[in-house]
């Protein structure tokens, strides 16, 4: 129990520190988002530039950006503590939370599923390459995935778009759902979303399988040399039991660490894929808000990113004793 | 005419080769033997003798590039060597079971003990429902003198002896006809070793199974086996009843193996410690402990902690080379003492003084000098080398680091003399990788490396527990030579009383973090008084089949009474040693 509490305090500390950095960084540019946004709005509507100074000042005081930095910081931290991410400059008067929450499910669904699929396939493939050294199909397929792993996944994505969308026309090239599809929870809508997700998901899965397989392979080699594997064999256990309960069960622990960390970085890691596929996720949102120096929206996106990383780390910490009974004993081990 | 079907195991003309890139290695060459039900056959030989390879072939576990080229192994009317891998796997545990070496790591760390006893039964189709299986697990654990509640524990929660017992429980689960025990107690201290071997002997008698014990410990063999086979380089050197082998060995190699066991009867002459350099005797002690204790705490909230070493005060004078042994079981605090002497850990109380200076209050330059003058040799001669470099790298680095030698040819000369000092040929050693050297060579080189730097104190923590018996004496000889010729003070930490008897001038017996008996080896080890020392000595398996391995029940009872009494018994100081001051 003490351990859980300790972890919680640490998590809050990490979030606070990261949020502070996140607050400062975008404010170090000398661009003024409000001025730019107003100039753009005026340009769009063709209105006159007279009085823009006053408008900028008016909006600045509304957003609080005319205040000294430390005052902005304090008021922001106060808002964050109440889970208030403020108002977007770009999408004024929409709230930041509205946009973040609209984008988040897309990213989580796409990247979460893709990561999980590649983890399962990659881990099993990696384990099998060691377990079945004689298998001909494994000897061919695994190196192929290793090569794919060496190519950045957005490049894989571009190739996939070219082949399966632009050339063959099997899948849509972009967007999260079809134009004119009504986004309710009907089968048509869900089917449409999956249909659109296949190519971006594929690009991630193809690129990630090799990495999972490679690290699992390394762990399996280590585990195979352990005395308990030899004893398991001497017991004449079934191949299936030795593979799952003895080899994979011991080799998978570091894989799960990586998996949980990967979930934590889903939100940030998706920017390039989402850009390539114009996917309505948090990556695209973050990209757009950076282009416009929308302090509040940037902060909102990155804050979600920080939250997911911190929460995954904590989950990992609490999960680890379940994976490895040796950690359950608690406290430091002394020789 | 009916062929007589033997009820035990009959092996005829077994040959096994390993086809490597460098040619064919004949690991086992035409060996024949048999084991009757209820009989205990000992396989003796050094690493590379083919003893484990022979056993693995019976288990069907010889992997390419290894291959059984000829022979038969009849277990009843079944020829084990003709079985397909799948058929052979099905016979394991059912007909033939293996008790592994190093049970420390033989259990799956993420599975509960009970489950690991059960899974063998399940996979070999034992017709039992879940409740019956659980009951059988409890019965098996009781059979190996464990509490049935152990089934719910994970391996890391067990002691080494308990893990070894679990391995035995696994092996006997399906009543096999043949048990193969491969150095089952090599990782255990003498007291646990004796207890585990007694258990093994009892369960084998109860089952009436044949048993093959593999090992290189002639003492254990003398105490345990009915018959012995001596193997060397894949050939059968000699075989016969245990008394014949020990009383009238026919082969010189057999005699060599028997003689390599340190025995209390044969204590080599060694120079008694004398003040050799009177000028140095006035210097501060080489090492001194002033009320040093060490308490380990588990986590922030453990107020009390575990006091691994109770307050200890002793000092070793300069100019008086001596070997002081620290003996005790695992958990007695002897390795903690070693780490304190080397300055690896800080004492919880008291001070460790090297040449009169507190080890933990030194300037950077002084600390360097202290690292040079206090050297160490550890247990594992494999882990001490960086596998990516040739061994000269590991030798040259400390020379440069401590400024002992800086020019290339100086360094080379130093390295060569270090090799020669420990009886290694420099040309065959320096430019090799660690894996190209044998375990014994590696360990001797470690001793040479430590010596090269001209230390005043050497802390040797179990330096011979992982090398073959015949190499043991040469490494111990190196230690003695260092004391006699180079005047180095040595602290020899071990669980092996026989080697402590062989090399030391003074012995400290450590029990639960406290020195319980101290004195010269003649008194402490040959005429022990403290019940703990008595128990330790009585647990040593002597290389003499007629000397009964009886243990010491009276000592055990006395020790239990002492433990229960609360207040610790005072340390028995049997004799003193000039230059060594122990305060109790």
Do B300 and B438 fall within a single domain? yes
Do B73 and B192 fall within a single domain? yes
pLDDT at B368 > cutoff 90: no
Residue B345 falls within a domain, yes or no?
yes
Residue B274 falls within a domain, yes or no?
no
CB A197 within 8 A of CB B64: no
End-to-end CA distance of chain B: 77
Q: Where are the domains of chain A?
A: 104-294
Nearest-CA residue of chain A relative to B104?
A227
Contact call for B119 and A245, based on CB within 8 A: yes
Nearest-CA residue of chain B relative to A252?
B110
Backbone φ, ψ for residue B49 (5° rounding)? -80, -15
Closest by Cβ to A332, choosing from B123, B298, B301: B298
Non-local CB neighbours of B312 within 8 Å, separated by 6+ positions: B289, B291, B292, B293, B337, B350, B515
pLDDT of A1 reads: 65
Q: Confidence band (pLDDT; 50, 70, 90) for B227?
A: very high
Nearest-CA residue of chain A relative to B55?
A234
- Compute the mean pLDDT over every residue in chain B, rounded to the nearest whole number: 86
Contact call for B108 and A332, based on CB within 8 A: no
pLDDT of B1 reads: 43
Q: Which domain holds residue B30?
A: 9-259
Contact call for B120 and A231, based on CB within 8 A: no
Question: Of B436 and B347, which is predicted with more confidence?
Answer: B347
Pick the CATH number of A104-294 from 1.10.3720.10, 1.10.10.410, 2.40.50.140, 1.10.287.3510: 1.10.3720.10
Do B457 and B359 fall within a single domain? yes
Q: Considering its fold, how many domains does chain B have in total?
A: 2
Which two structure tokens, joined as six digits, stand for B173? 């689960």
- Strand-pair category, B210-215 with B40-44: parallel
Closest by Cβ to A230, choosing from B88, B100, B156: B100
Helix (H, G, I), strand (E, B) or coil at B388: coil
pLDDT of B103 reads: 63
Closest by Cβ to B107, choosing from A228, A237, A334: A228
Distance, CA of B80 to CA of B84 (rounded, Å): 9
Is any Cβ of chain A less than 8 angstroms from the Cβ of B298? Answer: yes
How does B459-476 read in b/e, with b if 16+ C-beta sit within 10 Å? bbbbbbebbbbbbbbbbb
Which value does ipTM take for this structure?
0.78
Residue B578 burial by Cβ neighbours in a 10 Å radius (0-12, 13-18, 19+): middle
The string of DSSP letters for B536-583 reads: HHHTS--S-TTS-----HHHHHHHHHHHHHSSPPPPEE---BTTEEEE
Distance, CA of B497 to CA of B475 (rounded, Å): 16
* Peptide bond connecting B65 to the previous residue in cis, omega within 30 degrees of 0: yes
Share of chain B above pLDDT 70, in %: 93
Which two structure tokens, joined as six digits, stand for B444? 């001797």
CB B225 within 8 A of CB B544: no
Do B238 and B294 fall within a single domain? no
Which two structure tokens, joined as six digits, stand for B341? 């002497």
Average of pLDDT values for B161-183? Answer: 93
pLDDT at B299 > cutoff 70: no
Where would I find the H helices in chain A? 2-24, 33-45, 52-63, 69-81, 96-131, 136-150, 153-160, 187-224, 227-234, 239-241, 249-251, 253-269, 271-276, 282-291, 295-323, 325-328
pLDDT of B250 reads: 92
Residue B267 is given by DSSP the state: P
CB B307 within 8 A of CB B316: no
Helix (H, G, I), strand (E, B) or coil at A156: helix
Do B121 and B211 fall within a single domain? yes
Give the count of beta carbons closer than 10 Å to the beta carbon of residue B312: 25
Distance, CA of B531 to CA of B509 (rounded, Å): 11
CB A279 within 8 A of CB A200: yes
Residue B30 falls within a domain, yes or no?
yes
Nearest to B215 by CA among B41, B44, B49, B47: B44
Residue B265 falls within a domain, yes or no?
no
Helix (H, G, I), strand (E, B) or coil at B288: strand
Residue B312 falls within a domain, yes or no?
yes
Do B381 and B322 fall within a single domain? yes
Strand-by-strand arrangement of the B66-75 sheet: B23-35, B9-20, B66-75, B78-79
pLDDT of B274 reads: 63
Residue B364 burial by Cβ neighbours in a 10 Å radius (0-12, 13-18, 19+): exposed
Distance, in angstroms, between A193 CA and closest chain B CA? 41
Do B304 and B338 fall within a single domain? yes
CB B58 within 8 A of CB B180: yes
Closest by Cβ to B110, choosing from A233, A325, A329: A325
- Strand-pair category, B9-20 with B23-35: antiparallel
Distance, CA of B142 to CA of B161 (rounded, Å): 15
Distance, in angstroms, between A228 CA and closest chain B CA? 4
pLDDT at B301 > cutoff 60: no
Do B443 and B487 fall within a single domain? yes
pLDDT of B156 reads: 86
Nearest-CA residue of chain B relative to A323?
B110
CB B549 within 8 A of CB B504: no
Do B24 and B129 fall within a single domain? yes
Q: What is the pLDDT of residues B499-545, one digit of tens each?
A: 888 889 999 999 988 999 999 998 998 889 999 999 988 888 888 88
Q: What is the pLDDT of residues B39-48, one digit of tens each?
A: 999 999 887 7
Domain boundary among B210, B226, B259: B259
Do B248 and B299 fall within a single domain? no
Domain boundary among B193, B226, B259: B259
Helix (H, G, I), strand (E, B) or coil at B122: helix
Residue A17 burial by Cβ neighbours in a 10 Å radius (0-12, 13-18, 19+): exposed
Do B248 and B315 fall within a single domain? no
Tell me the CATH number at B381. Answer: 3.40.50.300
Do B245 and B372 fall within a single domain? no
Distance, CA of A142 to CA of A212 (rounded, Å): 11
Distance, in angstroms, between A13 CA and closest chain B CA? 20
Q: What is the largest CA-CA distance in chain A?
A: 88
User: Which stretches in chain A have pLDDT values below 50?
Assistant: 330-335
Contact call for B298 and A237, based on CB within 8 A: no
Nearest to B398 by CA among B449, B348, B355: B449
What is the distance, to the nearest Å, from the Cα of residue B362 to the centroid of all Cα atoms in its chain?
Answer: 36
Contact call for A324 and B109, based on CB within 8 A: yes
Distance, CA of A102 to CA of A282 (rounded, Å): 8
Give the count of beta carbons closer than 10 Å to the beta carbon of residue B360: 12
């Amino acid at each position: 129990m003490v351990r859980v509490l300790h972890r919680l305090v640490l998590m809050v500390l990490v979030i606070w520190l990261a949020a502070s950095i996140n607050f400062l960084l975008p404010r170090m540019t000398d661009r003024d988002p409000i001025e730019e946004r107003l100039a753009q709005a005026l340009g769009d509507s063709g209105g006159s530039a007279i009085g823009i100074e006053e408008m900028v000042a008016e909006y600045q005081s509304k957003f609080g950006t005319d205040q000294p930095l430390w005052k902005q910081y304090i008021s922001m931290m106060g808002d964050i503590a109440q889970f208030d991410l403020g108002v977007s400059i770009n999408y004024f008067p929409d709230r930041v939370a509205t946009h973040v929450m609209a984008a988040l499910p897309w990213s989580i669904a796409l990247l979460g599923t893709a990561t999980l699929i590649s983890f399962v396939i990659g881990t099993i493939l990696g384990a099998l390459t060691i377990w079945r050294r004689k298998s001909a199909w494994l000897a061919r397929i695994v190196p192929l995935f290793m090569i794919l792993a060496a190519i950045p996944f957005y490049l894989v994505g571009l190739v996939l778009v070219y082949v399966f969308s632009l050339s063959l026309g099997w899948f849509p090239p972009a967007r999260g759902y079809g134009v004119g599809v009504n986004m309710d929870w009907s089968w048509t809508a869900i089917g449409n979303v999956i249909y659109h997700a296949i190519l971006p998901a594929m690009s991630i899965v193809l690129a990630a399988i090799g990495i999972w397989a490679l690290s699992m392979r390394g762990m399996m080699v280590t585990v195979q040399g352990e005395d308990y594997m030899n004893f398991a064999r001497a017991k004449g256990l079934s191949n299936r039991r030795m593979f799952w309960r003895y080899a994979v069960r011991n080799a998978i622990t570091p894989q799960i660490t990586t998996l949980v960390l990967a979930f934590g970085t889903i939100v940030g890691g998706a920017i390039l894929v989402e850009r390539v596929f114009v996917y309505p996720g948090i990556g695209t949102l973050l990209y757009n808000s950076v282009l416009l120096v929308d302090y509040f929206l940037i902060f909102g996106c990155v804050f979600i990113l920080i939250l997911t990383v911190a929460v995954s780390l904590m989950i990992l910490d609490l999960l680890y004793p379940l994976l490895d009974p040796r950690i359950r004993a608690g406290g430091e081990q002394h020789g | 005419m009916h062929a007589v079907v033997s009820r035990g195991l009959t092996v005829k003309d077994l040959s096994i080769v390993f086809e490597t890139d460098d040619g064919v290695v004949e690991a086992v060459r035409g060996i024949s033997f048999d084991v009757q039900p209820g009989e205990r056959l000992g396989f003796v030989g050094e690493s590379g003798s083919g003893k484990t390879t022979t056993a693995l072939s019976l288990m069907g576990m010889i992997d390419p590039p290894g291959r059984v080229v000829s022979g038969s192994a009849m277990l009843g009317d079944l020829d084990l060597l003709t079985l397909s891998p799948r058929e052979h796997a099905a016979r394991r545990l059912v007909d033939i079971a293996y008790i592994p070496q190093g049970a420390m790591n033989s259990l799956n760390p993420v599975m509960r003990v009970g489950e690991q006893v059960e899974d063998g039964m399940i996979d070999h189709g034992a017709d039992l429902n879940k409740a019956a299986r659980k009951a059988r697990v409890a019965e098996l654990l009781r059979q190996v003198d464990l509490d049935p509640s152990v089934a719910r524990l994970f391996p890391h929660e067990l002691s080494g002896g308990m893990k070894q017992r679990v391995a035995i429980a696994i092996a006997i689960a399906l009543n096999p006809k043949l048990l193969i025990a491969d150095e089952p107690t090599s990782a255990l201290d003498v007291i646990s070793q004796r207890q585990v071997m007694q258990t093994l002997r009892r369960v084998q008698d109860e089952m009436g199974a044949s048993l093959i014990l593999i090992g290189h410990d002639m003492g254990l063999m003398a105490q345990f086996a009915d018959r012995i086979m001596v193997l060397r380089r894949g050939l059968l050197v000699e075989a016969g009843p245990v008394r014949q082998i020990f009383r009238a060995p026919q082969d010189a190699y057999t005699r060599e193996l028997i003689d390599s066991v340190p025995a209390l009867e044969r204590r080599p002459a060694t120079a008694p410690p004398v003040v050799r350099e009177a000028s140095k005797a006035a210097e501060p002690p080489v090492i001194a402990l002033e009320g040093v204790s060490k308490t380990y705490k588990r986590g922030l909230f453990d107020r009390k902690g575990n006091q691994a070493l109770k307050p200890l005060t002793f000092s070793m004078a300069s100019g008086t080379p001596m070997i002081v042994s620290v003996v005790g079981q695992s958990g007695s605090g002897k390795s903690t003492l070693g780490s304190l002497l080397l300055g690896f850990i800080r004492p919880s109380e008291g001070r460790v003084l090297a040449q009169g200076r507190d080890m933990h209050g030194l300037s950077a330059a002084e600390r360097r000098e202290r690292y040079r003058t206090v050297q160490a040799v550890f247990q594992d001669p494999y882990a001490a080398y960086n596998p990516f470099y040739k061994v000269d790298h590991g030798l040259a680095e400390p020379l440069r680091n401590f400024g002992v030698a800086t020019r290339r040819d100086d360094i080379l000369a130093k390295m060569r003399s270090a090799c020669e000092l420990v009886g290694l040929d420099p040309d065959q050693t320096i430019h090799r990788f660690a894996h190209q050297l044998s375990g014994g060579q590696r360990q001797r080189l470690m001793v040479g490396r430590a010596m090269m730097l001209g230390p005043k104190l050497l802390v040797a923590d179990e330096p011979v527990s992982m090398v073959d018996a015949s190499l043991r004496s040469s490494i111990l000889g190196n230690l003695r030579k260092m004391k006699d010729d180079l005047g180095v003070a040595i602290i020899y930490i071990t669980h092996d009383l026989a080697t402590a008897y062989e090399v030391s001038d003074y012995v400290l017996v450590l029990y639960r973090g406290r020195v319980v008996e101290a004195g010269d080896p003649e008194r402490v080890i040959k005429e022990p008084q403290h019940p703990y020392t008595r128990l330790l000595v009585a647990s040593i398996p002597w290389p003499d089949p007629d000397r009964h391995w009886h243990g010491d029940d009276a000592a055990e009872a006395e020790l239990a009474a002492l433990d229960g009494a609360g207040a610790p018994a005072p340390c028995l100081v049997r004799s003193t040693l000039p230059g060594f001051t122990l305060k109790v």
